[in-house]
Amino acid sequence: MKLAAPPLLLLLLLLAVLGFCWGRQHHDNDEDDEPELLVQPSRFGSLWPLPQKVQLSRDALKLTGLSFRIVDGKESTVGASCALLQNAYRRYYEYIFGSPKRQGLYKSRRAAPPELTELQVVITSTDSECDAYPSVNSDESYELSVNRSSAILKAPKVWGALHGLETFSQLVYEDEHGAKTINATVISDFPRFAYRGILLDSSRHFLPVQVLLANLETMAMNKINVFHWHIVDDPSFPYLSRTFPQLSQQGAYHPYTHVYTPADVKMVIEFARLRGIRVIPEFDTPGHTQSWGKGQKDLLTPCYSGSTPSGSFGPVNPILNTTYDFMKAFFKEVSTVFPDAYVHLGGDEVDFTCWRTNPDIQRFMEQHSFGKDYSKLESFYIQKLLDIVGGTNKGYIIWQEVFDNGVKLKADTIIHVWKGNQQQYQSEMANVTSAGYKTLLSTPWYLNRISYGQDWHVHYKADPQDFTGTAEQKKLVIGGEACLWGEYVDGTNLTPRLWPRASAVAERLWSAKDVTNLGDAYNRLSAHRCRMVERGIAAEPLFVSSCPREYRGI
């Protein structure tokens, strides 16, 4: 005889079941485009970003650490004297044979597949640029062929060879017996956009040099080629200037422990160069300069309360000759320290409140017939600054406000778009390119903005050429940049917040425009994220999953 359950117990059980079902439905609806957990591997394995043309076969070749070598091909225009390539050969050899197990795409049925003993790297141009710095005009293309008889990587310049080595390393996996394996493959590849950047902010929180280097290493794994170093801002001035050492002595969080010495900066630039990455510093003025004023007297505008100084300071003082004398000397130094052809001059978010209170500024406005339009005063300052920087033979990148305020700009100025929603930034891109200026997009790629769920989808779907404009206008879009501002980011959380979300931006800027399949991207990016983890990068997971080897920390 069955005992009847008490009515209260039945009611509680019913409510529990209904609550569980509602909870699952409610949770699932939070993320209505989550990929299925049980997915088939992509036919492209773990390639990221996806090359332009890929032909994969089932022919498997074995690699062993004892016999495999990466060597200069006989036809190459460079040899052992190219330290950049020799450095890369060692690095990728260690990636291939020092990294843990990877999931194979094609597994040979043969017990002992043929062995691949070397990868020949052939630089085809007489000017390899081995000792040069990468630039916006660098040729990053390469061709990779792997078959039973040979593996050959050809590239006009060393920059393409670096990308090809990364791709080759991504093709290597471990078969079910633990043997290093690669399938016969033919790849022809080049980036869709010349500028593929990441901004890191080292002012709001100081970022140790080792953190910067680790992320440069990860950028190379994702074929990102520009490090936009937002090195100083309101909170601190960690750049140690030889010409004006008092700027960091007074403006850094600490004058010894929280500064980038000339040796540090040189190390970062060379480490980046060896990985095909440009380093573009940003020294943002006239706003975002509170830390500058601590070490440079009379640089900032005194604010007033009524007819007396309030004791606080606003943006750079644009009416003093000493301001421009300082800027000329400072940017002369910057131009010699940072070898890239461009410097980012900022120009965003200038608060006019302090300028409005200052009687000297008010008189200057009257004398120059600026009326009450303080954007004209901003333009007055910016134009003088641009002339100063132009005199150092540097090109410049500026945030969109400078363009929006009608400042006279050189034809080769790059406008950096960062404001607004999708409709607004697309309109801005159309306006900038219709005026004939080259442009970069960052608006949809502010990675400091985080949310629950897979926000990489949004980053992946955004395209810098999706705006109304002519084909000629679209050609003026040279790329884009993911930004990680530092209000809530330091060395403890920078890497997992940045990766693999920045990888989504990397593929959008490298791969063909029609590479948009979210399911395929999820499968490849999950595997790529595990590869970064296996290489010691604390990249956060995309969703529920596991890696063959989990992150072990340091």
Residues classed as catalytic? 349
Assign residue 30 a region (left: φ > 0; alpha: ψ between -120 and 50; beta: otherwise). alpha
C-alpha R_g of the chain? 27
Name the helix (H) or strand (E) containing 451: none
Q: What is the DSSP letter of 115?
A: B
**How many angstroms separate the CA atoms of 183 and 312, rounded?**
65
**How many angstroms separate the CA atoms of 278 and 179, rounded?**
37
Q: Pseudo-torsion of CA 486, 491, 493, 495, nearest 10°?
A: 100
Are 186 and 216 contacting, i.e. CB atoms less than 8 angstroms apart? no
**How many angstroms separate the CA atoms of 297 and 280, rounded?**
27
Please return the burial class of 158, using the count of CB atoms within 10 Å of its CB with bins 0-12, 13-18 and 19+.
buried
**How many angstroms separate the CA atoms of 455 and 506, rounded?**
15
Q: Which residues of 211-230 are buried (b: 16+ CB within 10 A; e: fewer)?
A: bbebbbbbbbbbbbbbbbbb
**How many angstroms separate the CA atoms of 372 and 554, rounded?**
57
Q: Which residues of 169-199 are buried (b: 16+ CB within 10 A; e: fewer)?
A: bbbbbbbeeebbbbbbbebebbbbbbbbbbb
**How many angstroms separate the CA atoms of 358 and 314, rounded?**
10
Contacts of 334 (CB under 8 A, 6+ apart): 281, 283, 343, 392
The count of residues in the chain is 554
The CA distances from residue 245 to 255, 256, 400, 445, in Å, are: 10, 12, 31, 34
Across-strand partners of 196? 480
Q: What is the 3-state secondary structure (H, E, C) of 518-545?
A: HHHHHHHHHHHHHHHHHCCCCCCCCCCC
Q: Where are the alpha helices (DSSP H) in 209-254?
A: 209-221, 246-251
Structure tokens at 523: 């499968």
Q: Which of 488, 464, 498 is nearest to 214 (CA)?
A: 498
Percent helix / strand / coil, the chain, rounded to 5: 35, 20, 45
Q: Which residues of 264-274 are buried (b: 16+ CB within 10 A; e: fewer)?
A: bbeebbebbbb
Are 430 and 452 contacting, i.e. CB atoms less than 8 angstroms apart? no
User: Which residue has tokens 């006009």?
Assistant: 156
